[in-house]
Structure 1
Amino acid sequence: MSSDLYAVVGNPISHSKSPLIHSLFAAQTHQDMEYTAIQAPLDDFAGTVSGFFSRGGKGLNVTVPFKEQAWELVTWRSDRAGPAGAVNTLYRDAEGHLCGDNTDGVGLVRDLTLNHGVPLRNQRVLVLGAGGAVRGILGPLLAEQPAEVVIANRTLTKAQALVDLFAGGVRLSAEGFDSVREPFDLIINGTSASLQGDLPPLDPSLVDESTISYDMMYGFETTVFNRWAEHQGACRSIDGLGMLVEQAAEAFWLWRGVRPDTSKVLSQLRQEGF
């Protein structure tokens, strides 16, 4: 009997930690599965997906730049994936329909609340950025019932578009980077600026001694955003490695019906320098 086949699809893909993470999950939970990385041609994501499942593949994770294409490709989308406009987890149902979910938001929430004990209910939250990464996490974040969420972005119209899309029970507003001044309980960086060693134009008044900073990016060293927040006096700073592991665990649970112990995997990744 051959192992069940899973993979992550992206372009480029050689840097992906998903094969390592899922292999650790599989070993921990005694699942007979193989997980690889597939670099899809930029002009044939759909063909790559079709070929994988026609070979008997069981599930795919999707990373940049294909998450929006995956959203368009699926027959059924979860409640999380619908407003996110992106899909990062694919599988087929009993009738063979291609199904899509987005586990990024629940990964963020689980990392904050379970791994770090950060409360979200009744908190004032500032989210930096209005691109696909932020759109993917807003639904689960708002479901935690924070007191207020402000989306700040260089282009105000993009932030306002997200406010219009996700407007509901939680107080939600849009601002430009340079117009936000007061301190927040939690600041989430959803821009990719720290990957380039850059920062949005942020006012120091956003941070006080009770502020927690969370960068959805991660690296071998403290991100530029988290260094900035620490310099302004933030009480804690957290990077996005836990979000990566938690979103992977949610996909693993969707596929296998087993939830791995993410704390052990996170600990191992940290020990290996991630």
Structure 2
Amino acid sequence: MDRYAVFGHPIGHSKSPLIHRWFAEQTGQVLTYEAILAPLDGFADSWLHFVAEGGRGGNVTVPFKEQAFALAQVLSKRAQLAGAVNTLYLDEQQRLCGDNTDGAGLVADLLRQDVLLEGANVLLLGAGGASRGVIQPLLDAGAARIHLANRTVPKAQQIAQLFDSRVSAGSYAEVPKERWHLLINATSSGLQGERPPLHEQHLEYCQLAYDMLYGAEPTPFLQWCHQQGVPQTADGLGMLVSQAAESFTIWRGVQPEVEPVLLKLRELLRG
């Protein structure tokens, strides 16, 4: 039986085994998918051991996406732009291929919610790997402008310079006074019960506030946006399922349906 897995540290919280099991049932694919806790300094060894035991492909989560990028022999264009890999597989020549489906997952989830990306001005909060991986897919989907706001300005500027003039960067205090249609929080501030220090004036024209984190309750960022009158808010659960669907399609050549799996996961989170 074909084996797949997700590698991370920690990994016990991962919903990926459940998601891919449901995808397999839905599409009639016969496979196994497990969660593997890799040592912080031993991702490569864990992956090689998995392949030696018949592993066909895998997902990679925190903190191994950069290590997976370094390990891959062939990198997709979107992995190169993201500087990180979240999807690994062996091609017909048995070369290790690395891809990044995070940006595609975000765009798919936004489109699923009828967000108009064509011509949109996007304010992207945070300048980590999560931000970098979604910029090109957002541009490809038609975003007119993307501005990265971050506490550490040089880090944001470094990312912006990887892209064309549609992408800019600066501090939270110096966000350009433009009509931002879409706000995306790519920071982990919600894990500490906080939100990015963004001024409420930038929410005036926002149609959707999106947080890449997800949970049983709205994140502090989404709660704040709702209080400020943003008409629509969404967390990152749909992005999680959509990026997993993209990985599944790469491995199996079959496109699973996201909506049924997303509904099941949402019910599970609400207990």
TM norm structure 2: 0.97
Give the whole-Å Cα distance in 1 for the aligned partners of 2:174 and 2:257. Answer: 41
Residue by residue over 1:27-74, the C-alpha shift from the partner in whole angstroms, topping out at 9 and shown as x without a partner, is 000100000000011111111111111111110100010000000001
The residue aligned with 2:88 is: 90
Deviation at 1:209, TM superposition (A): 5.6
Give the whole-Å Cα distance in 2 for the aligned partners of 1:120 and 1:211. Answer: 11
Give the whole-Å Cα distance in 1 for the aligned partners of 2:40 and 2:171. Answer: 33
The residue aligned with 1:172 is: 167
Tell me which of 129, 132, 135 is aligned to 1:132.
Answer: 129
Asked if residue 52 in structure 1 is aligned to residue 50 in structure 2, the reply is yes
The within-5 A match list for 1:130-209 is 130-167=127-164, 171-180=166-175, 181-208=177-204
The residue aligned with 2:59 is: 61
The residue aligned with 1:7 is: 5
Amino acid corresponding to residue 215 of structure 1 in structure 2 = D
Gapped regions of structure 1 (runs ≥ 5): none
Verify the 8 A CA contact 2:179 2:205 in the aligned structure 1.
Answer: no
Give the whole-Å Cα distance in 2 for the aligned partners of 1:80 and 1:32. Answer: 28
The residue aligned with 1:38 is: 36
TM norm structure 1: 0.96
Amino acid corresponding to residue 174 of structure 1 in structure 2 = A
The residue aligned with 1:116 is: 113
Root mean square deviation of aligned Cα: 1.1
Amino acid corresponding to residue 184 of structure 2 in structure 1 = I
3-state SS of 1:166 partner: coil
Deviation at 1:210, TM superposition (A): 4.6
Verify the 8 A CA contact 1:209 1:235 in the aligned structure 2.
Answer: no
Amino acid corresponding to residue 109 of structure 1 in structure 2 = V
3-state SS of 1:14 partner: coil
Verify the 8 A CA contact 1:59 1:90 in the aligned structure 2.
Answer: yes
Deviation at 1:145, TM superposition (A): 2.2
Tell me which of 199, 209, 224 is aligned to 2:220.
Answer: 224
Gapped regions of structure 2 (runs ≥ 5): none
Of residues 174-183 and 40-49 in structure 1, the stretch that sits farther from structure 2 once superposed is 174-183
The residue aligned with 2:229 is: 233
Shift of the 243–75 alpha-carbon distance from structure 1 to 2, 3 Å rule, reads same
Give the whole-Å Cα distance in 2 for the aligned partners of 1:135 and 1:68. Answer: 12
Of residues 70-79 and 134-143 in structure 1, the stretch that sits farther from structure 2 once superposed is 134-143
Residue by residue over 1:92-118, the C-alpha shift from the partner in whole angstroms, topping out at 9 and shown as x without a partner, is 1111110000000000000001x2010
Deviation at 1:273, TM superposition (A): 2.5
Amino acid corresponding to residue 264 of structure 2 in structure 1 = Q
Runs of 4+ in 1 over 3 A off after TM superposition: none
3-state SS of 1:273 partner: helix
